[in-house]
Amino acid sequence: MIRVQRQDFDVGAELAALSGDNRGIGGVCAFVGLVREMAGGEPLRSMSLEHYPGMTEKALARIEAEARERWPLEETLIIHRYGKLEPGERIVLVATASARRQAAFESCNFIIDWLKTKAPFWKLEQTGGGAEWADARDSDGAAAARWFRDAKGKQLD
Amino acid sequence: MIRVQRQDFDVGAELAALSGDNRGIGGVCAFVGLVREMAGGEPLRSMSLEHYPGMTEKALARIEAEARERWPLEETLIIHRYGKLEPGERIVLVATASARRQAAFESCNFIIDWLKTKAPFWKLEQTGGGAEWADARDSDGAAAARWFRDAKGKQLD
Amino acid sequence: MKIIYFAWLRQKTGVSEEDASPPETVTDVAGLTGWLKGRGGGFAEAFDDLSVVRAAVNQEHVGMDHAVSAGDEVAFFPPVTGG
Amino acid sequence: MKIIYFAWLRQKTGVSEEDASPPETVTDVAGLTGWLKGRGGGFAEAFDDLSVVRAAVNQEHVGMDHAVSAGDEVAFFPPVTGG
């Protein structure tokens, strides 16, 4: 399931709903991204997350579908917020459920890595020095690139 | 933090408490292990988790300390239940928080892998065919072995 | 053709969304950026360094050599920074 | 010496915990398993296949060649299956 929303989410409630009555699940892996207090070495006052409505949902659904193709998953969830966020606030929740824990870990890690380079979100960071658009990190590109080859060795875009 | 307890836990509350006011956290990775409905091809009625009080806490604390030595972690949490559990019930929660998501993912995965081979818990599975002690899985040994070498290439036991 | 701008491309061009009719010589994304740059001012600035500009056509990430035509929705934005 | 048994080792021996005084010839875990096996019955059965028996001395995992002495807490159990 994909959700793009302004409001916060309740991690416990979301994970409970994710598992539901599915007794085939042996492990749930969840990642919660939070706003850190520092941005480029300066204290962050707040950030505004802009996104591309329509394309965002498509991009997330495609990432989710790719994860389900690569790993035997029982359930998947991606919630991403937009709008104004302050340090300590939740930005994103990715959760994957599988019979086996390794599939849950890998797919959750895959989804957040791909989301970081493929989902159309942009952070405008507000510090004492003014507002700056966050730069994409090389490390995010490298993290996403780890997953570029699928199990059959086929190159994916 | 380490907790070994009979009662269930509230994942949302635990994760919120884990992050607390720590604004240096950029990502929290959590793993929740659940009781599956099948055990060795047979429908599971329930399981009883026995453990070694005293040693369990020591073993978990050592695994947690090892994770904190290997990755730059802000917070860590391991909760493991014992006693009688039914399909769908939560068994274990591992959560790690770091400035960087990859440290959170790897350390959480490391903790659950090591816990599976080092923490003194034993599952007695109750099916229609009677009660059987669960066998240790070779795949758990292999998963734990992935982490046997630390960053310096030193062999760890 | 609908053109949408995000983040600092929106700020530099001063436009969030427009209906545009580029000439027939504009057949791909690269051609479109050239035409937009030709408007000068904030547009010239926004498309000055294409190494930091990404494009989507009909809500799919594409390369600069991807075709564009009249009915398309084309978006320009910097490398993404969500998550 | 305190000896504790878990899971099927507890069931087979019929003992969860005991205070034992093995002879002085028992100096390591392997020696202790041999002495316990010598009791026969459920003990012989429990220690029949040492490939599926694990040991801890003073709540630390140890190998079969680890020393044991009078004041120790020694535990025997199958490979762990938590998590």
> ∠ CA B57-B60-B63 to the nearest 5 degrees?
150
Q: Which domains does chain C have, with CATH numbers?
A: 2-77 (3.10.20.30)
Q: What is the model's pLDDT at position B101?
A: 96
pLDDT for the residue numbered A151:
45
| Chain A residues whose beta carbon lies within 8 Å of the beta carbon of residue C77 | 52, 120, 122
Question: For residue B59, is pLDDT > 60?
Answer: yes
Q: What is the pLDDT of residues A53-109, one digit of tens each?
A: 999 999 999 999 999 999 999 999 999 999 999 999 999 999 999 999 999 999 999
Task: Give the pLDDT confidence score for residue B39 in this predicted structure.
Answer: 82
Nearest to D56 among B55, B112, B117 (CB): B55
Question: What is the distance between the alpha carbons of residues D34 and D30, in angstroms, rounded to a whole number?
Answer: 6
- The mean predicted confidence, pLDDT, of chain A is 93
Span B130-157, pLDDT tens digits: 999 999 888 999 999 999 865 444 444 4
Average pLDDT, chain B: 93
**One-letter amino acid identity for B59?**
A
Residues of chain C with Cβ-Cβ distance to A119 below 8 Å are: 80, 82-83
Looking at beta carbons, which residues of chain B come within 8 Å of A112? Answer: 101
Chains C, D in contact, 3 or more Cβ pairs below 8 Å: no
Q: State yes or no: chains B and D have 3 or more CB pairs below 8 A.
A: yes
- Which pLDDT value is given to residue B150? 54
Percent of chain B predicted with pLDDT > 70? 94
Q: What is the ipTM of this complex?
A: 0.93
Average pLDDT over residues B50-65: 98
Cα angle D39-D43-D48, degrees, rounded to a multiple of 5: 110
Asked if the model's pLDDT at residue D58 lies above 60, the reply is yes
Q: What is the mean pLDDT of chain D?
A: 98
Average pLDDT of C5-16? 98
Per-residue pLDDT of D20-50, as tens digits, reads 999 999 999 999 999 999 999 999 999 999 9
pTM: 0.94
Q: Which residue of A has its CA nearest to C62?
A: A157
Task: With a cut of 70, say whether residue A157 has pLDDT above it.
Answer: no
- C interface mutation test: which of A3, A5, A34, A55 has the most C CBs within 10 A? A55
Q: Model confidence over B102-137: pLDDT tens digits?
A: 999 999 999 999 999 999 999 999 999 899 999 988
Contact D80 B122 (CB under 8 A): yes
Helix A101-118, helix A55-70: angle, nearest 10: 150
Residues of A in contact with B28 (CB under 8 A): 31-32, 34
CA torsion through residues D53, D58, D60, D63, sign: negative
Assess whether chains A and B touch, using the rule of 3 or more C-beta pairs within 8 angstroms. Answer: yes
A10-30 pLDDT, tens per residue? 999 999 999 999 999 999 999
Domains of chain B, CATH where assigned: 2-148 (3.90.1170.40)
Quick one: three-class SS letters along chain C?
Answer: CEEEECHHHHHHHCCCEEECCCCCCCCEHHHHHHHHHCCCHHHHHHCCCHHHCEEEECCEEECCCCECCCCCEEEEECCCCCC
Q: Cα dist. B120→B116, C1, D1, D77 in Å?
A: 9, 65, 20, 8
Q: Is the pLDDT of residue A7 over 80?
A: yes
Q: For residue A37, what pLDDT is reported? A: 95
Distance from CA of B150 to the nearest CA of A (A): 20
Residue B55: pLDDT above 90?
A: yes
CA distance B62 to C73: 56
- Average pLDDT score over residue span B33-54: 94
Q: Which segment of B86-95, B146-155, C54-63 scores lowest on mean pLDDT?
A: B146-155
- Say yes or no to pLDDT of D8 above 90: yes
The percentage of chain B sitting over the pLDDT mark of 90, rounded to a whole number, equals 87
pLDDT digits 0-9 by tens, B19-34 = 999 999 999 999 999 9
Closest residue on chain D to B59 (Cα): D60
Report the percentage of chain A scoring pLDDT > 70: 94
pLDDT of residue A150: 54
pLDDT in tens, A98-154: 999 999 999 999 999 999 999 999 999 999 989 999 998 888 999 999 998 654 444
